Structure 1
Amino acid sequence: MADEKPEGYWERASREPWNEWFPTKAVVILGVIFALIFVYGPLGGATDTETAQAGYRGTGMATIQNAEVYAAALATVDLYPEDEAPYEVEEGADIAGEYYENVQVLGHVSVDNFNRLMNAITQWVSPEQGCAYCHGEDGNFASDDYYPKVVARRMIQMTQNVNANWGDHVAPAGVNCYTCHRGLNVPEYIWFNEPADEGRELLGWDNNQNHPNSRVQSASLPSNVFEKFLLEDNAITVISQNVREQMYPERGIKSTEWTFGLMVHMSASLGVNCAYCHNTRSMGQWDQGPPARTTAWYGIRMARELNNEYLAPLQPVYPEHRLGVTGDAPKANCSTCHQGLYKPLAGKDMISNWPELAAPAPAAQQQAMAN
């Protein structure tokens, strides 16, 4: 007797009711698994948030923070090295510009306070490499052969400018090198120009959007917002008071998407939501918005000035491995200083013990050093 051929799946399906052969349980289980992946995968699961009322009851004015992210950012404040108070300068004390060679920016500072600041900068920027990171190991501290020293000199001038001229954004805490560097040679949060979107002739122009990008928290927004607003001087306000804005073509949907991209970056950098700076009823109303919006207004312009006047011009100084893919120098954005907190280092006083960084040398002393 020949072996009978086993009944196939489809033969059974055609003969029996579907509920007898259909693998219902397996399909349901797989469906639930895929649903969980699609829902929780992109969102990262539920987050623990903390909400603080920031306006009148019932208006939605509340600051919302991710508790875990905020706690991690807050923990970094305690890593700040202990400050050393300034030394009293006695009459007739030696000054750095006369005692050392090639001291171009801090020549008006006393020798003791100059050395105190140099030791602090080592802790802020190069705690592992020490003085050799900027000056090399040959003992010639006057040499400008090492690019980190040339960059550091310009960064000291930038820090003095921020503390002296951008108090509307940084006062009263001020900034020093640690505000950005946090013990690293290169600040963790910097940015470079995005390369041109080439090779898409048949696909069309996509305005640098709909690509996962950390700049805009992977939203479907243009990612070249830093170039647009923190390097170039473009209008950010796009909210209209009219139904149609034919007289203001810059207030189109593309401009709005750029603006929203910048706002998303600022929100993530400061660890807050929109209501930290804006009124929930009408985000465009300055007189109804929180004071933080004015502080942010100055911050945007400060970042733009720093990028154009101090950071981008250093491009010829850097070696190739420090440049971006387009050959540009590293630049700053909101995350460079804030790093997840609406006040960098939770508003810690960064300048009181460092008057050398609070302002440039007086004009008379600058002239004397130049001579």
Structure 2
Amino acid sequence: MKNWTQKIALVLSIFAMMFLTACERPPVDSKQTGFRGTGMDQISNPRTDEQLAKLNELPPPIPSSADGPKASAVYKNVKVLGNLSAAQFSTFMVSMTSWVAPNQGCAYCHNVQNFADDSLYTKTVARRMIQMNQSINGNWSDHVKTTGVTCYTCHRGNNVPQNVWFNTVEKRGGNMLGNKNGQNDPTVGSAYASLPNNSFSSYFVANASAARVIGDTALPTGHKATLQTTENVYGVMSHMSHSLGANCTFCHNSRAFSSWEESTPQRVQAWHGIQMLKDVNTTFISPLAGISPPNRKGPDGDVGKANCATCHQGVNKPLLGKSMLQDYPFLAPNNGKPKEGNQIAKN
């Protein structure tokens, strides 16, 4: 009898593990963000929040003085940030090293026998990334506000940010399966859903389509979307939700998903974020494929590009909204000036 009791308990335990695997143990916090009954709530797990707080701690700044000769007068071949003092410039180089290449040190970007040498492709990339930071902070304040970004926002001690994407090369499992459109192959890029995981190339590059498929009329009059387009949009929306650690109602009103007027302010900010990604990937990142070695390229020959997770990494404000620009103001020379023509196209 005792053996049977133990067997039944074991079977019940296995079933409990199977059915409760996707559940979160309490307490789980819920914050209402919209009208009662609309399901507009943001859910958070205090235990996860504690982990995220540790992952988003800022590195300590290194103090330096703006006094003294300019870096361009002291060092050779300084093509960016030459207007900084030599002390500021060298201190920032040390900071960049700790953010991007803490294990390799200066040799990751420089020929240590001749620091003016440009033979390492990583040095050219680093220059371009500094300019990218300045562009984001100066031209995309509609998205990054005054918080801005630095190299650390994305890299967090890694040579390449942990969250980048490459063009997808379709994997065929036989002629009968045809083109799967990246479906039923869950990855972090699609929030582990069976939705297409190759949607980034449809929305995060130049001349991309608007990520919009829901019409504003009861019948599909004047607004038609194919099933494939709809699945792509839902795939990229799932990515955005997963990247920000928020659900759909963080940006959308659940009773009228297509309405901009009834959406939260975050939807407008997210729209600017998508436009920023198009600019960043097209202007600064993709052109680097020409100088990048094969081990830094994807199966299609492109380099790793940015998406929402590159900066956000699971929180709706990168680094939980803490800014590093007060210590590195030269990365935001035009902060607060909106990008010209940066208006929302709602149709």
CA distance in 1, matches of 2:228, 2:12: 39
Name the amino acid aligned to 2:215: S
What SS does the corresponding residue of 1:195 show, helix, strand or coil?
coil
What SS does the corresponding residue of 2:56 show, helix, strand or coil?
helix
Aligned to 1:110: 85
What SS does the corresponding residue of 1:63 show, helix, strand or coil?
strand
Name the amino acid aligned to 1:127: P
Aligned to 1:226: 200
Name the amino acid aligned to 2:276: M
Q: Choose from 174, 177, 196 the match for 1:203.
A: 177
Aligned to 1:73: 52
**1:130-169 matched pairs, under 5 angstroms:** 130-138=105-113, 140-169=114-143
How far does the alpha carbon of each residue in 1:350-369 deviate from its partner, in whole angstroms, 9 at most, with x for none? 21221221138xxxxxxxxx
Q: Give how far 1:70 is off.
A: 2.9
**1:318-329 matched pairs, under 5 angstroms:** 318-329=292-303
Are the aligned partners of 2:76 and 2:116 in contact in 1 as well (CA < 8 Å)?
Answer: yes
Q: Give how far 1:25 is off.
A: 8.6
1:348 corresponds to 2:322 = yes
**1:1-371 matched pairs, under 5 angstroms:** 32=12, 35-36=15-16, 38-41=18-21, 43=22, 46=25, 49-78=28-57, 80-85=58-63, 87-89=65-67, 93-138=68-113, 140-198=114-172, 200-231=174-205, 233-245=208-220, 247-249=222-224, 251-359=225-333
Q: Give how far 1:38 is off.
A: 4.5
CA distance in 1, matches of 2:185, 2:95: 42
- Could you state the TM-score of these two structures normalised by the residue count of structure 1? 0.82
Which structure has the greater CA radius of gyration?
1
Q: Give how far 1:107 is off.
A: 1.7
Q: Give how far 1:37 is off.
A: 5.5
Name the amino acid aligned to 1:58: G
Q: Which runs of 5+ in 1 are unaligned?
A: 1-23, 361-371
Aligned to 1:366: none
Name the stretch that deviates more: 189-198 or 219-228.
189-198
Identity across the alignment (%): 41
CA distance in 1, matches of 2:229, 2:220: 13
Are the aligned partners of 2:170 and 2:180 in contact in 1 as well (CA < 8 Å)?
Answer: no
CA distance in 1, matches of 2:281, 2:27: 36
Name the stretch that deviates more: 44-53 or 328-337.
44-53
What SS does the corresponding residue of 2:290 show, helix, strand or coil?
coil
- Could you state the TM-score of these two structures normalised by the residue count of structure 2? 0.87
Name the amino acid aligned to 1:206: K
Are the aligned partners of 1:66 and 1:271 in contact in 2 as well (CA < 8 Å)?
Answer: no
The structure-2 alpha-carbon separation of the partners of 1:220 and 1:48, relative to structure 1 and needing over 3 Å to count, comes to farther
Q: Give how far 1:197 is off.
A: 3.5
User: How many pairs align?
Assistant: 330
Q: Which has the higher helix share?
A: 1
The structure-2 alpha-carbon separation of the partners of 1:67 and 1:253, relative to structure 1 and needing over 3 Å to count, comes to farther
Name the amino acid aligned to 1:68: R
CA distance in 1, matches of 2:6, 2:94: 66
